[in-house]
A and B are shown apart, each in its own frame.
Chain A
Amino acid sequence: MTDLPKIRIRGLCKAFGANQVLRGLDLDIAAGESVVVIGGSGTGKSVLIKCLIGLMEPDAGTIELDGKLITGLPPRQREAVMGRFGLLFQNGALFDSVPVLDNVAFGLVSAKGRPMAEAKRTAMEKLAQVGLGADVAAMYPAELSGGMRKRVALARTIATEPDILLFDEPTTGLDPIMGDVIDQLILKCVRELGGTALTITHDMTSAKRIGDRIAMLYDGRIIWVGPAGTVDASGDEYVDQFVHGRVEGPIAFATRRH
């Protein structure tokens, strides 16, 4: 690891009308590191990822990638930067109208300009990498179970071999066994790609499995960061309440989704 973080976020602010979601969020992620951001529902975890990848423009603050500012870039430059990210959406966000194989090959054709035949060959390899066979390739997303959809979405995310992998609630809605399978696949994919990973979740088991470090998001800011192994004994009352799932404590959960 070098001193220069792969991703440096400073003073990130984002509001939706009168609802101030991010209030000056700071976070550094080193190259090759896997950071997990935990926090309750409605605390702005997804907003953080969307600002990072460029789906939302922050109201204030800066995001640097390899020391270069990526906020406020003109659309073309922003598109080029976006190509370095891979995002696993919470519900997969697979394209309903095309089969699984075309879903996985999509980014290879559109972002990397590969010929369709070659892209489909690579897509088959990526499907195999997440434990799916040729029988699934011809199916449509609506025909798949939740776990299979997540695997396909993961295959699509890693297909373009991005520098930075973002995982939005990767185990939400899955049973514990499938959650473990997805976590192992994420670890394997991140390791094989040698990429930097940012995961947002409120699944503590998953967070401890995936993350090198865990950061707690509360009230629009990162209030605690530490190695994944220390999260159970952080000494922070907010983190303790969240990790142990206690109703009593300083955290007042927001109810609105962004």
Chain B
Amino acid sequence: MRVTRPDTAIARTSAPTAQVDAAPVVRMTGGTAELGGRPVLRGVDLKVFPGEVVALLGANGSGKSTAVRTLVGLVPLTGGRIELFGTPHGRFKDWARIGYVPQRTTAAAGVPASVREVVASGRLDRRRMFRLGRADRTAVDEALAAVGMLDRAGDGIAHLSGGQQQRVLIARALARRPDLLIMDEPMAGVDLASQEVLAETLRRQKQEGRAVLLVLHELGPLEPLIDRAVVLRDGCVCHDGVPPEALGQHALPGHDHVHPHADDHAHATPGLLT
């Protein structure tokens, strides 16, 4: 069951900066992939436009995490095609434009590392491997400030809470000043302050006309910031449009219900995540 989104929905649901005819930053067409011989993606179509915040939803094992991992090249496609910023995946070299926040329970490795060291590692790419200049330091400071961790820059990462470590991983991606920010389950096990940092990050990316694709288990408090939701079930897209209703978090205090509804989809997809 695949719901094809009418093109008008883009204009209705995305930020004012996005244009209907803007080229998508991500375009996956008929993407298939397998893990250990088991098909996980079975013909996924996915587009993300500039200035758009897209949530990739689905139950455990629906393939949502695998879908973003194919986009960033960590899982190979077995069929279909991916274009990033209009370039076929195989020829795409401009990884500096993509910020990736992997799904992690910890940001720490076997040796101590400071918050700043980890975030600074986000500045590297194929062309910039050796020295980090003043511009790099500024970008790192900005990213640290954006997640509220500038005053912890010199601290060891292993001493931070889970939510704070998640914020460091977000800062590491933001330090690239990415045109496309891809986050894999950034809400998993984070505290309230980190949720707020995440929401602020989404707002800012959107304001600057940059795109965000985030894998979420449920929309939760981020719901008002999501322009479009793509729901996967058994490796297929079963919904692509406004965020599906009735995900349980709407009753939260402080939740203002401002996003526009496209009624044709909202009621067609009850209980998608169960």
Partners in one complex: no
Chain A contacts to B: CB under 8 angstroms? none
Chain B contacts to A: CB under 8 angstroms? none
